[in-house]
Structure 1
C-alpha cells in the first residue's frame, strides 16, 4: 500500500518504551511497503515481446524486426526485445492470444489494414477494438507483379483479361480480405468489372506469396512494394504498377501507377502497433515513450528509407481515432464490394 494510505495506530495505554517500539515498527513497515509498490515500476521490467500474427517474411514481420533492431542497437531500453510469429486466421489467432495478456504492457502486437480486412471477411469474434492502440508506424504502396515471363506486360493487360474471363486471372497476396485483396477489388471496381468474381489466393506470409508468383501458382501477385522489390530488381518479377497516385521509385526506377493507366485508385497499406487490452493510462504512456524514442532515432529513419516505407506516425488520441475510422471505412468497403 502507498505511504499516504497508511496510518499508525497510537495506543495511549502503552508505556513509553512500547510506544517507541510501535512507531519504529510502523516506520519499517512503510519503508518495506514502499519498496514493493509496482505502480511506479520502471518500464520495461522484463522482455518486450513483439508478436507478429503471421508467418515470417511478410510486412508485419519485417517491420517488427526493424523495430527490434533499432530499439536494441540504440539502447532505447535495458531489457531484451523478442519477436515471435503466430500464424492463423488472418491475424485472429494472434489477436486471441494477445487478449490473454490483459494488463501486461510488455505484450505488443503488429497489426494494420490487412488485419482489419481479414477479420471483417471472417466475421471474427475478436476485433482490434479489443486491444490498446499504441501507434501507427508506416505506410506503403501496394505492388502488382507478375513472373518475368508472364504474358501480361501491363496492368491494362490484366484488367482486359479479367473483363473477358474473370476465371482466367488468379490474384494472390496476403490473407484473404486484407489490403492486398482490397486494392485488387478497388482496381476492378474502378475498371467497371465485378470484384465479387475475383479468384484470390491468400498466403500467410510474404515469403509464400513470392513463391506463389515465381512458381506460377498465381498469375498476378499483390503485396507491399518491399516484399517484391528484391525479385523486381533481380529481374525474376515484372512490376506492372503501384497503387499510390504519387509515383515512387522501385528498384532504382520510377514505378508506373494505377493512375497512370487511367484507374482512379490511390491506396496505401499501413502498419501499426497495439498492446494487450486493459492497460492503464500510465502503462500506455510508458509504452508510447519507448516507441517515441525509437521513432526519433536516425536508425529508424534509415530503416524507413531502406525498406521504402512512408513515415505514418500517430500516437495517443490521434492513433485511437484513426483505428476507429479505418474499422468503419473497411466495413463499408466490404459491403460496397460484396466481399
Structure 2
C-alpha cells in the first residue's frame, strides 16, 4: 500500500485545536472533490494588485483547476489596515463558502487602528507561506545602497519620502522599525500610504517618493527591466537565487517575515470546519500552488491546527510589542 500523501495526513489533523483536539479523518478517495458545495468566495482585505490579492488569485486558480470548487470569486475590501475586510468576514457567521486572506498586516492593522474586531472574531485556518519586504529606489536614484539610505535616514529622516502600503502593514512596520533601529524617532518617518503595489511603484517611478517598500514580486518586473534597484530585503538571510542584500547587511539589525494565511467566518459547525480544513489541505498540494510558491519567491511555511493557534498568539504578542515600542498604537 502506498504511503499517504501530505494532504491526507494534514487533513486529519489540520483542525484539531478548534475542534476539541480530535483527529479528523479525510480519506484519500475524497481528494479532488468539491468541498464547499459549489462556490467559494475569497475576501482580500486589501486592494487588487498587492500581496494579499496575489495569494487569493493563485488560490483561486488552483482551486478551479483541480475541481476543488466549481466557482471561486475574489472580493477586494480594502481599508483600515485590513480591518474593513476583517469586519465583513466576522459578520458572516456560519458561512462555509467564505475564506479570507490574512497575515502580518492584519495583526498590525488591528493594533494600530484600535479595531473592535480582532482575530478572536473569525476562524483562522492556516498559515500558508512567508514573503519578504523589499526596500527599493529608482534606477537613477543617488541612493546607492541600504547603508547609504541608513545614513540619510539617520541624519534627515523627514527629507526622504517612503511609499508603501497601509499603516500597520509589513511595509509600514519595516520602515518604522528601520528608522527606530537607527536611533531616530519613527514619528519622523515621511511615509506615504498607497493602495496596492501598483500605486507604490507609480509613486516611486514618478518621483513622488524617494524610496518604496513592498513585496519582491511587486517590484520584480521593474527590477528586471532596470527601472528599479532593490537595496535590501527583509529576510534574515539572503534569499536563494535572489541577488539582494539583507537589511541587516545594510547596517540595520532587523528582519521581518510577511506571512500569509487563510481564515474563515466564526460560528462554523463541525462539518463545515472539517470541509474547509480539507480544502486547505488539498490546496497546498496542487501543482498550481506549488508552482506559485516558486514563481513568487514565497517560502512554504504551512502551519495548521494547534501549531497555527500557538503561532498567532506569539505573533500577536510580538507585533504588539513592536507597535507599542514604536509609538504607533
Give the TM bin, normalised by the shorter chain: 0.7 to 0.9
Deviations 1:246-289 (A, max 9, x none): 1115xx65211112223221211011111011112332221010
Partner of 1:318 in structure 2?
A: 307
| 3-state SS of paired residue (1:311) | strand
- Displacement after TM superposition at 1:190 (Å): 2.3
| 3-state SS of paired residue (2:205) | helix
Structure-2 separation of matches of 1:117 and 1:208:
21
Note the residue ranges of structure 1 that are not aligned, 5 or more in a row. 1-41
| Pairing of 1:61-80 with structure 2 (within 5 A) | 61-77=53-69, 79-80=70-71
Partner of 1:262 in structure 2?
A: 251
1:48 to 17, 40, 54: 40
Task: Say whether residues 1:159 and 2:143 are aligned partners.
Answer: no
Given the two structures, how large is their TM-score scaled by the length of structure 2? 0.86
Structure-1 separation of matches of 2:93 and 2:198:
31
Note the residue ranges of structure 2 that are not aligned, 5 or more in a row. 1-33
2:224 to 219, 233, 251: 233
Partner of 2:209 in structure 1?
A: 218
- Displacement after TM superposition at 1:297 (Å): 2.1
Q: Is the 8 A contact 1:210 1:221 kept in 2?
A: yes
2:92 to 82, 97, 101: 101
Q: Which runs of 4+ in 1 moved over 6 A?
A: none
Structure-1 separation of matches of 2:243 and 2:198:
24
| 3-state SS of paired residue (2:221) | helix
Give the structure with higher Rg (CA): 1
2:173 to 165, 182, 192: 182
Q: Is the 8 A contact 1:143 1:224 kept in 2?
A: yes
- RMSD (Å) for aligned C-alpha atoms: 1.5
| Pairing of 1:1-339 with structure 2 (within 5 A) | 43-77=35-69, 79-249=70-240, 253-339=242-328
- Displacement after TM superposition at 1:308 (Å): 0.6
Q: Is the 8 A contact 1:90 1:204 kept in 2?
A: no
Structure-2 separation of matches of 1:108 and 1:127:
16
Structure-1 separation of matches of 2:40 and 2:80:
24
Structure-1 separation of matches of 2:86 and 2:187:
28
Partner of 2:22 in structure 1?
A: none
Structure-2 separation of matches of 1:82 and 1:123:
30
- Structure with higher RCO (Cα < 8 A, 6+ apart): 2
Aligned length: 295
